[in-house]
Structures are given as structure tokens and as C-alpha cells.
Amino acid sequence: MTATAQAHVVGRAEEVPLGEGRAFTAGGTPVAVFRLRDGTLRAVAAVCPHAGGPLADGQSDAKVVVCPLHLNAYRWEDGSSPTGAPPVAVYPVREEDGALVVEA
């Protein structure tokens, strides 16, 4: 999180089913929020930096999200790409009283 990042309620936790992602806006920033199969929440920029693909529609596992357009992968840890694409922004996300909160 940068010094200018703020916490934003983007939706309800139940809007993101287990193993899927959804697109939201956090203070004007498009974000993709995922609930991994173990229940962990992760958030990245909603748009793939390679070709503008919708990352919320991508497949994910415990380590990466994969863009549905050209199959570029992005690490949850730091947004870097093991497939060589430009990195994607990663945002802290949490659940508070049933709300999804993203710091962007």
C-alpha cells in the first residue's frame, strides 16, 4: 500500500464465490477481487497490463491469476509475471463485517 492509499468498501463478501473473481471499483481504481479455493481474498488491478484483458474473468490458484485473453500469469505476492508480461498492481484486501475492503 502506498502512502496515499485509502481503504474502500467495494462490495459484500458474498459477491465473490469460492474459487472465482469479481470486478469492483475502489476509490476510482478498477480492481479484481478473488476468493481463492482456501477462502483467502486477493486483489489486483482489474485490467491486464499486457492487452487490457479482464483479470476478474481469469483463472486463479494459490500463487497466480491468469489473464483469460493471452494466458499471462501474475503472482499474488507482488504482481510480477512469470510469463514475462509487465507487472500488475496488487492491493491489500480484507473482509470486515461482511464487507469487502480494498486499499487502493
* pLDDT higher than 60, residue 2: no
Q: What span, in angstroms and rounded, lies between the C-alpha atoms of 24 and 43?
A: 10
Count of domains observed in the chain: 1
5 pLDDT band (50/70/90 cuts)? confident
**Stretch 45-66: mean pLDDT, rounded?**
96
State which residues form the domain around 60: 7-103
Tens digit of each residue's pLDDT (9 = 90 or more) over 17-50 = 999 999 999 999 999 999 999 999 999 999 999 9
Residue 29 CA, chain-centre distance (Å), reads: 11
62 pLDDT band (50/70/90 cuts)? very high
- Does a structural domain hold residue 34? yes
- Does a structural domain hold residue 1? no
Nearest to 60 by CA among 86, 30, 88: 88
Q: What span, in angstroms and rounded, lies between the C-alpha atoms of 79 and 63?
A: 10
At residue 63, the pLDDT reads 98
- Does a structural domain hold residue 2? no
- Does a structural domain hold residue 99? yes
- Does a structural domain hold residue 96? yes
Over the chain, what is the mean pLDDT?
96
Specify the CATH number for the domain of residue 40: 2.102.10.10
